[in-house]
Amino acid sequence: MNLNLSANIEALEASATEELDNAVKRMRRAGIDDIISLGVGEPEFDTPPNIVKAAQYGLESGQTRYQPTAGDYELRMEICKKLQLENQIEVSVEDVIVTPGAKFAIYLAAQAILEPGDQVIVLDPSWVSHSSIPKIMGAEVKRIICPESNSFQPDINQIREQMSSVVKLLILNSPCNPTGAVFDKDLIRSITELACDNNTLVLSDEIYENIIFEGEHYSPGSEYSNVITVNGFSKKYAMTGWRLGYATGPQEILEGMIKIYQHSVSCVTAFAQSGAVEALRSEESQYAANEMVQAYRRKRKLMMEYLERSDFFKCEIAQGAFYCFPSYNFPKPSLEVANDLLNEVHVATVPGVAFGSSGENHLRLSYVSSHEDLAEAFNRIEGYFNSRV
């Protein structure tokens, strides 16, 4: 019997960030216990205790049954309040879908919109799944280079040149993974207006919206009707393993997403949603989230100091998220460098090429680790480069 994958899946590349995390976990299970990970975008902090307790109470009080596909009504009410207060996006409960992670919200939107032959514009470098998810649907990905010389900001003229009747979706991510760039408000407006004129939808991935050190966050869904806004709880509240995201956008798109949702995972875990309600409603949660951002600010400063002292790295300062995306002056592809660093000096990084061709000769470095681990990681990285000069 011949067992063949579909052509789209056969051609799909594995997620570089997920593969890295899996490799680190395998090495640790094998007894290699000195690995320092600068690779995975996961807060070092535990979920705030009040959120954990709310989920525990939900579990103990019977929140163990199927929930509405779109999510718990009380949680969607809190998301509506959040969107109105923080993002100036006016929505009702029926305009919000709660999903198992923000990534699945992106998947649902792409599945609802895209067909083979459609095109999707992605800003390069971009998070690995922004380009991979459309390919699952058979769409063609068109990458717009955001050069380091322009602080990784996109060029509206290049986007205009790539617009056509078959461009169904444009994906924005500000603050950006992997570069940490925060896109200018007027630039986002111009991009969204251009997309609207072309009958193109904009998916605004805002998962890092509260982790901003320079500039300000802007949600295009506050002014434009062609926007699907995606967010979640993973980064702000250190809830990565809870798998909780949400989306809002045009009603027709949401209805299509719900159909797919019903025939796939059905709903989000009931008691996890109790924790999400607490996250949005409690001042204690907001205080904890703000404290995390201040800790990232200090770690970012430390990371930049190490990069500036290095003879091998050059880095555009990250405005937001918790990543740096330095280039390196060393004659070796980023995939080989990242593999060497992991296997030889036990420091996990993500090769820049995973985020697009413009990411070659870069590494994505996450600075969520402790100050001690950051110092040790750079000692090992510098040792690796120096041993090969």
- As given in the structure block, the two tokens for residue 368 are 């969520």
Q: Which residue has the tokens 């290049």?
A: 158
pLDDT, position 239: 97
pLDDT, position 10: 83
Those residues whose C-beta lies under 8 Å from the C-beta of residue 255, and which sit 6 or more positions away, are none
| CATH number for the segment(s) 64-282 | 3.40.640.10
| Bridging pattern class, strands 350-351 and 363-366 | antiparallel
159 SS3 class: helix
pLDDT in tens, 314-350: 998 899 999 999 999 989 999 999 999 999 999 999 9
Strand order across the beta sheet in which 201-205 lies: 96-99, 245-248, 227-232, 201-205, 167-173, 119-124, 140-145
Domain boundaries, the chain: 7-46+285-386, 64-282
Low-confidence ranges of the chain (pLDDT < 50): none
pTM (two decimals): 0.94
pLDDT, position 184: 95
178: number of Cβ within 10 Å: 29
- What fold, for 7-46+285-386? Aspartate Aminotransferase, domain 1 (3.90.1150)
pLDDT, position 128: 92
Q: What's the CA angle centered on 86, arms 85 and 87, to 5 degrees? A: 105
pLDDT in tens, 48-103: 999 999 999 999 999 999 999 999 999 999 999 999 999 999 999 999 999 999 99
Q: Positive or negative CA dihedral for 193, 196, 202, 206?
A: positive
